[in-house]
Structures are given as structure tokens and as C-alpha cells.
Amino acid sequence: MCRSTARLDGKVALITGANSGIGKETALDLAFRGARVILACRDVEKGEEAATEIRTRVGGAKVEVRELDLADTCSIRAFAQRFLREVDHLHILVNNAGVMMCPYMKTADGFEMQIGVNHLGHFLLTYLLIGLLKRSAPSRIVVVSSLAHNFGWIRFHDLHSQGSYNSGLAYCQSKLANVLFTRELARRLHGSNVTVNSLHPGTVRSELVRHSTAMSLLFAVFSMFLKTPKEGAQTSVYCAVAEELQSISGKHFSDCAPAFVAPQGRSEETARKLWDVSCELLGIEWD
């Protein structure tokens, strides 16, 4: 459990995919600490239901919902444009939303869905909001990755799995991309007072496995051993608020403690190459 008692009065937090699971629990915790929390959700109706629940559980909670579809760069740009127009500060960005082991699908821009949402969508969102994060410093970026990054490789020759598609391997690739993005972004943000760390939330009972019948059955059988969404959110909260992490950046955490990173997740060369490829795919320049 995150032991920090830090208050967030006057702070602004943005959480993607916050309408359910660990995203909603992270939003609830940050709202309880006094933050203004913005839930960025593809399904606005479910987002409003989550916001209503948070307001019911936290008296005076400052919670709002905004539409964001990370599978569509037009939606991401429209979201960021409105956000920058209407919100003056951003102290915590939690890149939480994710897709897991879905059938082969493409985003609106033609990216394979898992690399498109889990990595490229958040890459673009962070790029569009990085100026505000710097102006609001000290600020933090929290990237929800997974233990699955250990089994991932960045397939630069076929990043979008057009040659062959394995939903599990595509998921692992996207989670490795999260770790590499975190490390490279931390290097580029050095000295800015904006930190970025990644995390493994644990194996959590959530809707994330809905696309995989086998995983759904396994989760049902072993449900007593899985974390609740509240338990799974603890490391996200820890990375967002813990006082001892104020100057820590580019690290990976699990169970509110430093965690092992696979060798392929520590490669500076791969991280820089993935950064360049991501910028090219998204049509942006991010030095």
C-alpha cells in the first residue's frame, strides 16, 4: 500500500482510462487528497458514472470527465487543444489506459491497436502536454506498464504486426515500449523538474483481459490470488505522490518499490530508435 499522506490541494491530475479498474481507483485516491482530477475516457458515459461514484465517496471532490480516444490521433489532438485552452496547470499525468490481447485491429491511423493505444497514443498525448507540465513544475508523469515487458521485443521490421500477429506478443511489445519511452523521456527531461517513472501494477482483477478467453478463465480460477483494482492502483498513486520520489526519474516500480527491468528495457539504443520511429509515425518533431 502507498503509505504517503501527501496532500494535493491546488494540484491538477489527468488520468487516462479512468472510468474503471486501477484508473478509477487512482482517480479516487488523488481526489481524496484534494486534487482536481480529470478523467480522460473514450466512453464518456462510463466516465461520468465513475465521476459520480467518486463524488459520492469523497465529499467536495473536484472531478470532471473529458472525451479522449487514444486510438485516434485526431481525438488526442482535439483533447489536448481544449485542455490547454481551459486548464492552466498540470502537475500529474497518469498514462493508465490500455488494451490487452485484443484481436487484430487497427487504430484510426492504421497502427496495430495495442502499440497504437498503449504506446503511440500516450506518446502523442504526452508530447502535446509536455509544455504545460514543464510550466507547472514540479510535476510528474506516471506510465503504467507491466511485468509483461520482460517478454517483449520491439519488432522494428514489423512494428504493427502486419506480417504475423500474436496478441500476447503484441501486448508485451507495447508494454516494453512503455518502459523504453519512460527511460528516454526521463533523459530528455533531465533538469526540467518534471519526472517520469513506469510501473507494474500487479496482476489485477479488471476488464483488461476481456479480449482473451483463456486469460479470462485463468483470472476466474485464480481470482483469490489477484489484486483488487484498489490494490493494483497503489503503485500508480505512489509514483504520483510519494515525497521520496520527488527527484527520481526514469525508474520502474512495482508494489511501491523499485522493480527489475529486463535487459531489452534498459537499452539506450533501442529507446532512442523507438523514440525516432514514434515521432516519424506521428508526424511530430520532439527534440
Which residues does residue 229 pair with via DSSP β-bridges, in sequence order?
Answer: none
Asked if residues 201 and 227 have their Cβ atoms less than 8 Å apart, the reply is yes
Query: In the predicted model, what is the mean pLDDT of residues 213-227?
Result: 56
Note the pTM of the prediction, 2 decimals. Answer: 0.93
How many other β-carbons are positioned within 10 Å of the β-carbon of residue 75?
16
Three cell numbers written together for 223: 481470482
Between these two residues, 227 and 220, which has the higher pLDDT value? 227
- Angle, vertex CA 112, rays to CA 106 and CA 118, nearest 5: 110
165 assigned to active site: no
Q: Where are the beta strands (DSSP E) in 68-224?
A: 92-95, 139-144, 194-200
Pick the catalytic residue from 104, 127, 165, 171. 171
Taking only the tens place, the pLDDT of each residue in 242-272 is 999 999 999 999 999 999 999 999 999 999 9
257-258 and 252-254 beta bridge pairing: antiparallel
What counts of helices (H) and strands (E) characterise the chain?
Answer: 10, 8
Half-sphere exposure in the Cβ direction for 283 (13 Å, CA)? 4
- Angle, vertex CA 108, rays to CA 286 and CA 203, nearest 5: 80
Alpha-carbon span 252 to 239, nearest angstrom: 10
pLDDT of residue 221: 44
Helices 122-135, 268-282: axis angle to 10 degrees equals 100
pLDDT of residue 83: 98
Asked if residues 107 and 269 have their Cβ atoms less than 8 Å apart, the reply is no
Query: In the predicted model, what is the mean pLDDT of residues 195-213?
Result: 73
pLDDT of residue 183: 98
